[in-house]
Amino acid sequence: MSKVKHQGRREFLKTSAAAAAVTVAPGVMLHTLSAEAAPRTEAVTDKVRWGMLIDANKCADGCNDCVSACDKENGLDLVDMPEGADQGLWERQRPRWIRQVKLKDNLSGKITNLPMMCQHCEMPPCVDVCPTGASFRRADGIVMVDRHTCIGCRYCMMACPYKARSFIHAEVAEKLTHAPRGKGCVESCNLCVHRLDNGDTTTACQDACKHQAIVFGDLSDPESAVSQALKNYPSVQIRADLKLNTGVRYSNI
Amino acid sequence: MKKTHFSEWGIESPRYWGILAVLGAIIAIAGVAVFYMEHSGHWVTGMTNQVVWGLPHVFAIFLIVAASGALNVASIGTAFDKKVYQPLGRLSALLAIALLAGGLAVLVLDLGQPGRLLIAMTHYNFKSIFAWNIYLYTGFFAIVAAYIWFMMDHRMKAWYKPTGIFAFVWRLLLTTGTGSIFGFLVARQGYDAAILAPMFVIMSFAYGLAAYLLVLMFVFKVDGREIGGVLLRRMKNLLGVFVAAVLYFTLVYHLANLYGTENHAYEAFILRDGGIYTLLFWGGWVLVGCLIPLGIIYHPGMGATRGGIIAASTLVILGGLATVYVIVIGGQVFPMAMFPGKTIVASGFFDGVNGQPMLYSPSLPEILLGVGGVAVVLLLTFIGIRMLRFLPTTLSDEVADPHYSKS
């Protein structure tokens, strides 16, 4: 016959307190942590307008560092070709946020290299045409897609003058927590928004460019490096005729 | 002119069910294709990040455009008081609803996230013509359904004409909205033209009437009902006017483009160097869709025969599909003019290197989905005319022609 141990009142209270502590503590900790992260829950304002200046003269022929960095930063390198897909077709279906473009001037034959991505327009055609408002522009100038309300109609891709957007053509097995993606939605460069929202001030492409061709920063701050560069060097917008007031500017093209 | 009586489609049951079974099978196959595309993702289609709208959009837009056009027959009777067209109104409205349903089904099933249709119904961005179109399309269903009711129910006769006029105005808005999907796209050389909206309206007149003629002649023929020469001749001549108008708009669209140097490359692509797109423009859009039907319609011999009218209507539809293909796909495969005065010699994202067009070839599932949409149209129409009194018992000259006199 086993012995029945009679617990005293003191012991019972001790055990209960310990159990309660184990149960409640993580919640309290979590609460404290999220309270510390409060700034991320505040809405972004238009006091900042993120943008960049790209100096095509510094962009080196054959260099692909910004593209690789973007692929890695935003998990685009995790998008695998589906089994049985045609390689040539898949290359035209896989997503890209930034790409290298090499231009030749028709008159002079001058060669220019530059990276192309979402130009983060002030008046983005992709936002105008999106039926559900999934394609939107944040107050701080970043144009991005709300993946919860994107229905995959691709009208924004028809409307973008820069061919900056990609449709996710296949199931994605592995994804980064800060760059979730699902089959059937549209996406494009968001200026590494996860970095900016965590207090960083650089993008992956800028960090990767060893030729310093990309200057990123706050266009609203006259003292920022990008504002100073724009002030001191001539620059253009691609398809300036559309008067979209792009956040991405180029010099020497 | 005698009073028109209407009756249900009276073909023998085995034949009726046989037709439904065939259409049902086509729709089931299309359903399998949709499941395959949605389950795998769009990589199994020919669509890419360069050509984002493929063959399903061609079928969907064609059917939606034809839908508003099919309603014209009813509108001529109601809004324009042409008594001879009034007996044709019920079928016209039914076919309009069926065509729109078929087109929208294809459009929705090609979405990346078709399950999120509810989001499209609850989240609106009113700067988007797509969002407006959701209202225009659902409104069209409601208005035309009411129109059919008022056509059929004599107690509601007072409402017949106002609703008919309202439906006519609505259908004009609807096709303007569909044309504006392309007309408002500033990014691409082939679009961004206000003329696309009225051109879509006139295209809808032609495609809708051609579809109506074919359906009318088929359902009357198999049911042993008579269509008199007067009506057929009128509708045939009307088709001729509409087709000529399509040709006129085509001419103005391209001449306007040719005037501006910035569009020369695009025009050269469509009119001369575009391979399959040039072939579809001249062979499909212009020859099959316009010139041959016009030749048949106004030929003194062929134009007067039923075979001639069937051939002309069929060609208008085939040419119409080619037209929408050239507009939708041709407009996308032509590289965007991002760097005027420069040639893209290398790109990591297929930007039209050395001016080369994008590649697109439709896959089998896309074709099956499109054909499935057509089958939905016919299925809905045939069920409708079997269940309710959409068809006049006869359209013989004696009944239909107000100027008929026994000679």
Q: Which residue has the higher pLDDT, A11 or A28?
A: A11
Tell me what pLDDT residue A39 has: 63
The pLDDT of residue A17 is above 80:
no
User: Could you say which residues of chain B have pLDDT below 50?
Assistant: none
Reduce the secondary structure of chain A to three states and give it as a string. CCCCCCCCHHHHHHHHHHHHHHHHHHHHHHHHHHHHCHHHHCCCCCCCCEEEEEECCCCCCCCCHHHHHHHHHCCHHHCCCCCCCCHHHHHHHCCCCEEEEEEEECCCCCEEEEEEECCCCCCCHHHHHCCCCCEEECCCCCEEECCCCCCCCCHHHHHCCCCCCEECCCCCCCCECCECCCCCCEECCCCCHHHHHCCCCCCHHHHHCCCCCEEEEECCCCCCHHHHHHHHCCCECCCHHHCCCCCEEEECC
User: Across residues A226-231, what is the average pLDDT?
Assistant: 97
As a CATH number, domain B6-400 is: 1.20.1630.10
Answer whether A168's CB lies under 8 Å from A184's CB: yes
Q: How far is A68 from chain B (nearest CA, A)?
A: 11
Tell me whether residues A150 and B113 touch, CB distance under 8 A.
Answer: yes
Tell me whether residues B347 and A85 touch, CB distance under 8 A.
Answer: no
- Domain layout of chain B by residue ranges: 6-400
Tell me whether residues A168 and B112 touch, CB distance under 8 A.
Answer: yes
Answer whether B334's CB lies under 8 Å from B356's CB: no
Tell me whether residues B50 and A153 touch, CB distance under 8 A.
Answer: no
Find, in chain A, the residue whose alpha carbon is nearest to that of B331.
A158
Select from B192, B349, B353 the residue whose CB has the most chain A CBs within 10 Å, as the one to mutate to test that interface: B349
Q: How far is A58 from chain B (nearest CA, A)?
A: 17
How far, in Å, CA of B294 to CA of A139, rounded? 56
Tell me what pLDDT residue B147 has: 97
Select from B108, B185, B339 the residue whose CB has the most chain A CBs within 10 Å, as the one to mutate to test that interface: B339
Of B129, B343, B350, nearest to A92 by CB-CB distance is B350
Split at pLDDT 50, 70, 90, the class of A2 is very low
Tell me what pLDDT residue B376 has: 98
Amino acid at position A238, single letter: I
Tell me what pLDDT residue A20 has: 64
Q: How far is B342 from chain A (nearest CA, A)?
A: 4
Split at pLDDT 50, 70, 90, the class of A251 is very high
pLDDT tens for each residue of B55-89:
999 999 999 999 999 999 999 999 999 999 999 99
pLDDT tens for each residue of B344-366:
999 999 999 999 999 999 999 99
Select from A101, A104, A248 the residue whose CB has the most chain B CBs within 10 Å, as the one to mutate to test that interface: A101
Find, in chain B, the residue whose alpha carbon is nearest to that of A102.
B346
Tell me what pLDDT residue A1 has: 40
Of B47, B119, B349, nearest to A163 by CB-CB distance is B349
The pLDDT of residue A13 is above 90:
no
Tell me what pLDDT residue A19 has: 67
For residue B130, which residues of chain A lie inside 8 Å, CB to CB?
Answer: 129-131, 153, 155
A 10 A CB-CB count for A223 gives 8
Tell me what pLDDT residue A35 has: 39
